Amino acid sequence: MVRLFFAVMSLLVLIGCSGPVPAPAPVRVLVFTRTAGFRHDSIPAGVAAIRDLGTTGGYQVDATDDAGAIGTANLRRYRAVVFLSTTGDLLDSAQQQALEGYVEGGGGFVGVHAAADAEYGWPFYGQLVGAWFASHGAVEPGRIEVVDRRHPATAQLGATWTRTDEWYSFRSRPQAHVLLRLDADHPLAWCHVVGSGRSFYTALGHPVAAFAEPALRAHLQGAIRWAAGLVPADCGTE
């Protein structure tokens, strides 16, 4: 009994000395909105939607159009970076190096709509996004084929998805796992692994009203949560 008493007391002392267990650091996502070319009217709606999604998606959201945020030290704070309709030449060479190191080291990237219309002179960015923008037609209804319904960005969809948007064409076919397409030669959303990181791109999101659509919001939610490493998915290159 004496031995048991001292064993219990020792355990209690150890527990008391260890103190409270610190809470895990919150998952943070950075939304980057800088434009050096055309600026989409839908950017504020997109930022607001992603902030809303964070409240239910398990992550906190910061938004900025300051390229200084794309630095090695600052990027360490985030599990994923969203380039929301960014256009033109956005980053200097040090910022480019920081983003490349961040993704290849395990960070997540999500490009939305005009993110494909940026950094044409930086080869790594073309690899990261998957394909550069070439052209688009008028905003009009289209019928999307859902190629992969297992990814969290598409799991909520049926076999097809009819919606109105500005439909992009690209300079090349992405070397990535295609999730959505208008037809066999017209991919619209895809994902792939870059180094140790995860990259997702969706061409959707031109109209302001798009970011109020439940289906598009669920599409973005799945993309961000996958890029941030909160949910798994198979994004092997096709």
pLDDT of 115 higher than 90: yes
Cα gap 179→175, rounded to integer Å: 12
Across 1-10, 59-68, 89-98, 187-196, least confident range: 1-10
Q: What is the pLDDT of residues 17-35, one digit of tens each?
A: 445 555 678 999 999 999 9
Question: Which of the four pLDDT bands, split at 50, 70 and 90, describes residue 146?
Answer: very high
- The string over 208-231, giving b where at least 16 C-beta atoms fall within 10 Å of a residue's C-beta and e elsewhere, is eebbebeebbbbbbbbbbbbbebb
Contact 188, 204 (CB under 8 A): yes
pLDDT (0 to 100) of residue 237 = 60
Q: Which two tokens stand for residue 86?
A: 């960014």
Residues 216, 164 contacting (CB under 8 angstroms): no
Q: 236: which strand partners?
A: none
List residues bridging with 29 in a β-sheet.
Answer: 61, 80
Report the pLDDT averaged over residues 106-131: 98
> Is the Cβ–Cβ distance between 117 and 111 less than 8 Å?
no
Amino acid at 195: G
> According to the model, what pLDDT value does residue 15 have?
39
Q: What is the mean pLDDT of residues 178-197?
A: 96
pLDDT reported for residue 40: 98
Whether the CB-CB separation of 35 and 113 falls below 8 Å is answered with no
* Structural domain 26-227, CATH architecture: 3-Layer(aba) Sandwich (3.40)
Query: What is the rounded average pLDDT for all residues in the chain?
Result: 92
Report the percentage of the chain scoring pLDDT > 70.
Answer: 89
pLDDT surpassing 80 at residue 43? yes
Asked if pLDDT for residue 4 goes beyond 90, the answer is no
Query: Is the entire prediction scored with pTM above 0.85?
Result: yes
